[in-house]
């Protein structure tokens, strides 16, 4: 069976292949909110200093660490998630198959393996997107929607700020609400770079926003230009320097944006949003720099086929939780 070929289907080859497969489209992934960092450890240590969370440097055992300043809190350790998907290629799956127009069975099996890895990678990407949204809401939950993986505000004794936008009244000026938010962020940024702002909103929130008397004429003008340029007018709207993006996904765990909810945050930051990756739990990857995805195969008992294994070990973290705010419609 071609899967016995270590050159074509070994850990390195399969891992390279799964990393080259296209990622599943996702709103937060496509927006690039989180900066990816690939670690050699399975955890990150984070400390808080005046509401700013920073990574603690890894030092040789026995050496002197960074001195703890009076306003610093004890570091917290966060373990990366371990996301695993398995599938099987049985002997009967490849019996008598050939790639279309070819007599090469190895090529046909490679295509079958790629199809299975693509499906496994899609599930992993979907789970990472679930974690990204959880991180922006302040709490990463497991797939059951109940088990807390990380609660950054609770860990560091911080409070999530909620701002109320009264869009039910005709006299409200949305521009003033946005300016108030920007002024607040300007006071909080403490040297952090900011190149723009993003507000993730529910479809209901967007409908209320664009129908408001102080916004509708700007929305119409924006949509006319967008339709001319791209033909897509459904999901985003830029107003007064804020990019409003509809986040309509509702995950199986129940995680979603409520009808009256938005999440507003700065863009272009250097040290606010990170997505850390740990190495796989394989002998060949111990203490190596992580990759986003790993894949391997293992022979089934009685020579019945091969088990395919894919994994990723990510953790999205918001290191400036004070810069992320919840917007509520009132």
Give the integer Cα–Cα distance in Å for 299 and 227.
53
Position 6 pLDDT exceeds 70: no
| pLDDT value, residue 247 | 96
Q: Range with the lowest mean pLDDT among 5-9, 243-247, 270-274, 277-281?
A: 5-9
Give me the architecture of the 160-271+322-329 domain, per CATH.
2-Layer Sandwich (3.30)
**Residue 265: Cβ within 10 Å count:** 21
**CA-wise closest residue to 28 among 127, 122, 123, 133:** 133
Range scoring the smallest mean pLDDT among 59-63, 67-71, 194-198, 200-204? 67-71
Report the share of the chain in percent with pLDDT over 90. 62
| Separation CA 140–CA 150 (nearest Å) | 5
When pLDDT is averaged across residues 230-257 and rounded to a whole number, the result is 85
CA–CA distance, 218 with 240 (Å, rounded to integer): 10
Is the pLDDT score of 5 beyond 80?
A: no
Residue 89: per-residue pLDDT: 86
Cα–Cα nearest to 324, from 153, 193, 209: 153
The per-residue pLDDT for range 289-318, each reduced to its tens digit, is 999 999 998 888 777 788 999 999 999 999
Q: At residue 70, does pLDDT exceed 70?
A: no
- Residue 4 pLDDT class (50, 70, 90 cuts): low
Task: Pick 292 or 237 by higher pLDDT.
Answer: 292
pLDDT band at 231 (very low <50, low <70, confident <90, very high): very low
What pLDDT was estimated at residue 93?
76
Contact at 8 Å (CB) between 326 and 162?
Answer: yes
Neighbours of 125 (CB within 10 A): 20
Q: How confident is the model at residue 152 (pLDDT cuts 50, 70, 90)?
A: very high
The domains of the chain are located at 2-59+71-150+275-318, 160-271+322-329
Give alpha helix (H) positions in 41-173. 91-94, 105-137, 152-155
Question: Considering only 98-112, 180-194, 277-291, which range has the smallest mean pLDDT?
Answer: 98-112
45, two tokens: 């240590």
The CATH number corresponding to 2-59+71-150+275-318 among 3.15.30, 2.30.30, 1.10.150, 3.40.50 equals 3.15.30
Kindly tell me the burial class for residue 146, based on how many C-beta atoms sit within 10 Å of its own C-beta (0-12, 13-18, 19 or more): exposed
Instruction: Evaluate if residue 105 carries a pLDDT over 80.
Output: no
Rounded to whole angstroms, the Cα distance separating 197 from 244 reads 9
Q: What local confidence, expressed as pLDDT, does residue 222 receive?
A: 74
With b meaning 16 or more CB within 10 Å and e meaning fewer, what string describes 91-103?
eeebeeeeeeeee
Rg (CA), the chain: 24
- The pLDDT of residue 65 is 64
Contact between residue 278 and residue 329 where contact means Cβ atoms under 8 Å apart: no
Asked whether the beta carbons of 282 and 82 are under 8 A apart, the reply is no
Task: Find the range with the poorest average confidence among 22-26, 38-42, 236-240, 300-304.
Answer: 300-304
Does the predicted model carry a pTM greater than 0.85? yes
pLDDT score of 328: 98
**Whether the Cβ atoms of residue 137 and residue 324 lie closer than 8 Å to each other:** no
Q: How many Å apart are CA 50 and CA 156, to the nearest integer?
A: 11
Tell me the pairing of strands 236-239 and 161-165: unpaired
pLDDT (0 to 100) of residue 63 = 60
| pLDDT-based confidence at residue 244 (cuts at 50, 70, 90) | very high
What percent of the chain lies above the pLDDT cut of 70? 83
pLDDT tens-digit readout, 157-189: 999 999 999 999 889 999 999 999 999 999 998
pLDDT, average across residues 214-230: 73
Contact 72, 40 (CB under 8 A): no
The span from the CA of 79 to the CA of 81, in Å, is 6
Residue 240: count other Cβ atoms within 10 Å of its Cβ: 15
Q: Is the dihedral of CA 26, 251, 33, 201 positive or negative?
A: positive
Domains 2-59+71-150+275-318 and 160-271+322-329 share a fold: no
What is the mean predicted confidence (pLDDT) over 131-156?
A: 96
């Amino acid at each position: 069976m071609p899967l016995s070929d270590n050159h074509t289907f070994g850990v390195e080859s399969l891992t390279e292949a799964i990393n080259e497969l296209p990622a599943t489209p996702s709103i937060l992934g496509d927006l690039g909110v989180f900066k990816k960092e690939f670690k050699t450890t399975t955890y990150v240590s984070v400390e808080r200093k005046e509401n700013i969370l920073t990574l603690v440097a890894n030092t040789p055992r026995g050496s002197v660490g960074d001195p703890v300043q009076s306003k610093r809190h004890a570091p917290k350790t966060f373990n990366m998630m371990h996301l695993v998907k398995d599938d099987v290629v049985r002997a009967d799956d490849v019996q008598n198959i050939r790639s279309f127009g070819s007599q090469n069975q190895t090529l046909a099996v490679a295509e079958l393996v790629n199809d299975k890895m693509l499906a496994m990678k899609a599930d992993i990407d979907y789970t990472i997107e679930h974690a990204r949204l959880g991180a922006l809401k302040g709490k990463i939950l497991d797939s059951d929607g109940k088990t807390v993986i990380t609660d950054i505000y609770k860990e560091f004794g911080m409070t999530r700020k909620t701002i109320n936008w009264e869009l039910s009244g005709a006299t409200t000026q949305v521009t003033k609400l946005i300016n108030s938010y920007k002024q607040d962020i300007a006071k909080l940024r403490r040297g952090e770079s900011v190149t723009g702002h993003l507000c993730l909103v529910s479809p209901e929130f967007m409908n209320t926003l664009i129908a408001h008397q102080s916004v509708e004429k700007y929305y119409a003008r924006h949509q006319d230009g967008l339709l001319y340029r791209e033909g897509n007018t459904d999901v985003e709207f830029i107003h007064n320097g804020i990019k409003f993006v509809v986040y309509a996904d509702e995950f199986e765990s129940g995680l979603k944006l409520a009808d009256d909810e938005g999440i507003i945050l700065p863009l272009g930051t250097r040290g606010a949003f990170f997505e850390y990756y740990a190495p796989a739990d394989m002998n060949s990857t111990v203490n190596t720099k992580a990759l986003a995805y790993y894949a391997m195969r293992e022979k089934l008992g009685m020579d019945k086929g091969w088990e395919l294994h894919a994994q990723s070990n990510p953790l999205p973290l918001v290191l400036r939780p004070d810069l992320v705010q919840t917007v509520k419609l009132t």
